[in-house]
A and B are shown apart, each in its own frame.
Chain A
Amino acid sequence: MNFSSVLFVFCFLPVILLLYYLIPGKRAKDIILLCASLVFYAFGQPVYMILMLFSMLFNYFMAADLNANPDQAKKTASLVFTIVVNLFILGFFKYYGFLLDSLGGIFRVSISHPELSLPIGLSFYTFRNMSYVIDVYKGKTGPAPNLMVFAVYSTMFPIMTAGPIVRYADIQEQLMHRTVNLSGIGMGLELFIKGLAKKVILADNLALLFAEVSASAERTVLFTWLGLIAYTLEIYLDFSGYSDMAIGLGKMFGFDFAKNFDYPYTSRSVTEFWRRWHISLGSWFRDYVYIPLGGNRVSVPAHVRNILIVWALTGLWHGASWNFVLWGIYYGLLLLFEKYVLDRMPYSLPVWSRRLLTIFAVMIGWVFFSHTGFGDSFRFIGNLFGIGAAGAANGAALYYLKSNLILILLGIVTATPYPQKWYTQLVRRIPYAAVAADIILLIISVAFMVSGSYTPFMYQQF
């Protein structure tokens, strides 16, 4: 089930919220939330619900097991076993085809293999459950007091399909004692509507523009830039829209999830960009891979190695394809360049130019991200600078520019903090107008939802 579907917005969510609020008692609310999560998951892939439940039970059991073990060596062996099993499941569904294709490519043989569909949210719930076991091992948190509490955390539908990767330690208190009230519903609804609008009004329409550009055999420079701008905005609005909806849903059910995006396109460096983009994934890799590898408190060659390992893995996490690895390594190299070259320069560029350079680097990164073939990526980049392009501009490119200009401008403004500032001022001055603005936004979103195509969230596939 998709957050931006009529079924979810008008049937599933109202029924679950009504039950959740009307039935008293924390335990009853836990049961409702767990059942809702199972129904939500089973709607799309009932068979894979078994896998999700297995992951939940396995990690719950392993955390309790290693916590009870007084022998440090056995404890570590238990942790390694847990991580291996989790990564094996992830690898089985996500990477075995990639591995066979890569081996086939190296040895120049065709290894045929059946394709399996990726269980929805596999990468997200695997990382979430692994973080729980590692945190229990490190003593950052105790094991969940009972299976119900952990089941609610592990299967929670607002964060199931595309994150954020919320850690058990961060919401442990809320899992035990949470307050649900009308204020939470109000704030949650407001976030949910904003996320929905980002997705269905802006991201889905920008996706159509990018599809036109990427399908075009002959591209002019203007048309290629138009496509890249559309994709840059689409991926942000789609994923941050989903995150807003997930955080909003969390608020409605009494949970406070940390933000996953913080206006990343306004960053002044690539380092800052990654502190603002998909924050929960970045911090996961920092805490569970980068720091255990030694972080930056090692020699320069070891630090370079650590950065490249972490970023190759970050790329690979996004998908089983070499373009994602290239995309990850591209960021690793940029971060190293910033740390070892730019940061040591005696002068720094003005803020506006740093912002411009950062967004340019990020946009080039999206080319690798959006094209599975290296040839397609480099052809696209070439077209951006006139290499192999069908001229600077033509009638078709100008037509697409004119017909999508408002959409692009709206996307750009939405990617900055200004709309939120204006909205906050409106809430302070005329609260009713802010509510009216939300209702209008919801009505427009529903109109787009009903008339639009079925478009799943981009990060759902990861």
Chain B
Amino acid sequence: MKSPEKQRSIRPLSIKRPARGGKPYFERNGVIKSLMIAFLIIFLWLIYTSNSAKDIPMPDIASFMQSNTTVTSLAERGRSDLKRFYSLDDEQTDGYLFYKAVSPMSVNEMLIIKAPSADQAADFAEAAMAHLDSQKTVFGSYGTDQMALLNAASVGSKGKYVYYFCGPEADLWYDSFMSLI
């Protein structure tokens, strides 16, 4: 416990006026403000250009991705598996494409979800991240090959879309999908 004298000595301000001869206080603060605003504008511009996506109907995305045989070599999955692996109801989505290897020892998997809004996409992306974490927990102690694929998996959201790409072709799937949206 601090003594009362010490408690009183806490200065309620961290920005101090400069000593004589230094740069005028408010001029210096003006520079800091300008830098902060410049940073904000650059950040928002980067977010705008990198996080937005075109509005492509889900059937178009499905036919585009299904033209890749490495996707269709996996088994197509339905609503029950979406709920089982991601705890998501298909009714909450605006469509999805889900492929997963038949073998439970394989981590190869491709999921694309179109959410009703970009906000919901962020929520779904959280569910996809949770699935990736649970896969890592399952294979962490013995599946060296699986762990390598899981560590290289692409999981995230862009605009209204959520993606989970895991497998030897994950980078290719990711690039194809990104080129489409």
Residues of A within 8 A of B (CB): 1-2, 5, 7, 43-45, 47, 50-51, 54, 57-58, 61-62, 64-65, 67-69, 74, 81, 85, 89, 92, 112, 114-118, 120, 142-147, 176, 211, 215, 452-454, 456, 460-461
Contacts and interface: CB of A to CB of B under 8 A. Distances in A.
B119 interface: yes
Nearest to A81: B33
A176 B6 CA distance: 13
A117 B121 contact: yes
Q: What is the predominant secondary structure among interface residues of chain A facing chain B?
A: helix
Nearest to A44: B126
5 contacts: A44-B122, A115-B53, A118-B118, A454-B123, A454-B130
A65 B40 contact: no
B111 interface: no
A124 to B, nearest CB: 14
A142 B10 CA distance: 12
Interface in B31-50: 32-33, 36-37, 39-40, 43-44, 47-48
A71 B173 CA distance: 59
Q: What is the predominant secondary structure among interface residues of chain B facing chain A?
A: helix
Ranked 6 nearest A-B pairs via Cβ: A114-B52, A117-B118, A142-B12, A115-B118, A454-B87, A117-B122
Contacts of A64: 13-15
A64 B14 CA distance: 7
Contacts of A68: 13, 15, 17, 25
Given A114-B48, A115-B160, A147-B14, A45 B133 contact: no
A68 B11 CA distance: 13
A154 to B, nearest CB: 15
Given A92-B44, A118-B118, A453 B89 contact: yes
A57 B126 contact: no
A221 B162 CA distance: 38
Contacts of B121: 117
A115 B88 contact: no
Contact of A50 (B43, B127, B133): B43
A2 B47 CA distance: 24
Interface of B: 10-15, 17, 25-26, 29, 32-33, 36-37, 39-40, 43-44, 47-48, 51-55, 83, 86-89, 91-92, 117-127, 129-130, 133, 157, 159-160
A176 B12 CA distance: 12
A45 B91 CA distance: 24
Contacts of B127: 454
Nearest to A450: B87
Given A7-B133, A65-B29, A116-B48, 15 more contacts: A62-B33, A81-B33, A114-B53, A114-B54, A114-B159, A115-B52, A117-B118, A117-B122, A118-B119, A142-B12, A143-B14, A145-B13, A176-B10, A460-B123, A461-B119
Nearest to A50: B43
A454 B88 contact: yes
A143 B13 contact: yes
Given A115-B117, A454-B88, A456-B123, A58 B36 contact: yes
A115 B122 contact: no
A212 to B, nearest CB: 10
A248 B86 CA distance: 28
A211 B119 CA distance: 19
B11 A47 contact: no
Contacts of B157: 117
B126 A453 contact: no
A116 B52 contact: yes
B107 to A, nearest CB: 19
Contacts of A43: 126, 129
Contacts of A2: 126
A89 B122 contact: no
Contacts of A50: 43
Contacts of B25: 68
B126 A215 contact: no
A85 B47 contact: no
